Amino acid sequence: MYGPKSYDNQLALITHYLHNREFAKDFSVEQAKKYLKEYLEYKCPQVKVTDDILREPLQAGLFNDFFQIPFPDPIDYRFTFIDLFAGMGGFRLAMQAQGGKCVFSSEWNPFAQKTYMANFGEMPFGDITKEDTKKYIPEKFDILCAGFPCQPFSIAGVSKKKSLGRETGFLDKTQGTLFFDVAEIISRHRPKAFYLENVKNLISHDKGNTFKVIRSTLEELEYSIHYKVMDGKDYVPQHRERIMIVGFDKRRYHGQENFEFPNANNPIKRMRDILDNYPDAKYTLTDKLWIYLQEYAEKHRAKGNGFGFGMTDLDGISRTLSARYYKDGSEILIPQGPRMNPRRLTPRECARLMGYPDEYIIDKVSDLQAYRQCGNSVVVPLITAVSEQLVKAMFNN
C-alpha cells in the first residue's frame, strides 16, 4: 500500500521536479514521475494518470498549492543558484531579490524544511553529505550559497604529508567536515561564484588554522576570495557579527571581478520598531524564572563575571539572538515597566529581528522550533546587500 509516509520521503524530489523541471537530470525526472504516479493513484484514484498529466501536472489542476506561496521564484530570472544548509530560507530571499532562481535546496532539519516548504513551495532535500542527495544537484548553476556550520579541521595529517614532501589536495585537508562537502560541490560543478556565511570566530578558530585551510582550499580550486566580518546591526537592531566569504571562478573572471562589500547606509534601527503592540501574556516571564535569572546574574556579578540576562534598550539594539533563545529568552528581554516582569520576544519579533518580512510564514512549526530557526538564521537584509554586490560583479564581468 502506497501511503502518505512514503510520499513524504519523496516530497523533495517531486517539488523540485515541479519547480525546476528544465534543470533536473534525466534520472531525476523519471523518478519524480514514478513517485507522482504512485501518489496520484493513492490519493486521487478517480484521476486517470496519463503521461501527459505526469509531464504537465499543473495544467491538469494538480499541485497548484505548491505555487500559491508568499515567495515564488521570479518569472524572468537572471541567474540560477543552489541553497545549501538552507535553514528557514534567508539566502533564498536574498538571491530571489536579485532575480535569482533556486534550482536546488538542501536542509536536514525537518522543522526548517517545513518552514521552507511553506514559503517557497519546495521541500529541501536532506543530508547534503550523502551522495544520494548530491546526485540531484543540477550539473550547471551560477551561484552556490551556503551558511555551513563551523567544524574543527585536523591539520595533523596535512603537516605529516608536507614533512614527507607530498602535496595535499583539498580532499585531504577537509575530509570529514561539512566544509568538505561544500568544497567538493564547488569543485564538481564549478559555479561562477559562491557566497558562504559563518560565525565571526571562524577566523580565529584553532589559532587561525581553520580559516587558513578554508581559504587555501578555495584558492586551490582556482577561485579568488573576498571576505569580511560584518555586523547585522547596520541592517537590523541586533548586534550579530558574521564572516561573509565570496568567491569568483578564476578560470572565468581571471581575478578581475570588480567586487566590493557593501557599505551600510541604512538609518539606525531601534528595538521598539520590531515589537508587537499587544504580545500574548504567555511571553512574560514567570515570577519563578525572573527571580532565578536575577539571582543567577547577581551570583556571577559577585565573582566578577559578565554572565547574566540582557535587558534590552528599546531605543537601542539587542544582543545576538541564539538558537537556545527558547529556553529562557535571557539574552534578549523586553522591559514592560516597573510593575511587570520582562518578557521574551515572540517568534514573529525574532523573525523581524533577523530581517524577515511579516508575510514570511513561521507558524507552521511550534514556538520552540521557530525560535531555533531564527537563532540559526542569517540576517536577511545583510545577506541581500552582499548578494546585490555579488550579482552586480558577476554580470559586470
Cα 230 to chain centroid, rounded: 17
- Residue 41: which residues within 8 A CB-CB, separation 6 or more? 2, 49
Distance between CA 180 and CA 128 in Å, rounded?
A: 11
Question: Which cell is 187 given?
Answer: 569543485
Spatial strand order of the sheet with 143-146 comes to 100-105, 79-84, 143-146, 193-199, 241-249, 223-231
Q: Please name which of 76, 221, 74, 82 lies closest in space to residue 143, comparing C-alpha atoms.
A: 82
Q: Which residues are catalytic?
A: 150
- Scanning the chain, the segments in alpha helix (DSSP H) are 4-9, 11-20, 26-43, 51-55, 90-96, 110-120, 131-134, 156-163, 170-174, 178-189, 209-220, 250-253, 287-302, 325-328, 347-353, 367-376, 380-396
Q: Please name which of 333, 334, 323 lies closest in space to residue 368, comparing C-alpha atoms.
A: 323
Residues 207 and 152: beta-carbon distance below 8 Å: no
Phi, psi of 230 (to 5 degrees): -125, 155
H/E stretch holding 132 reads: helix 131-134
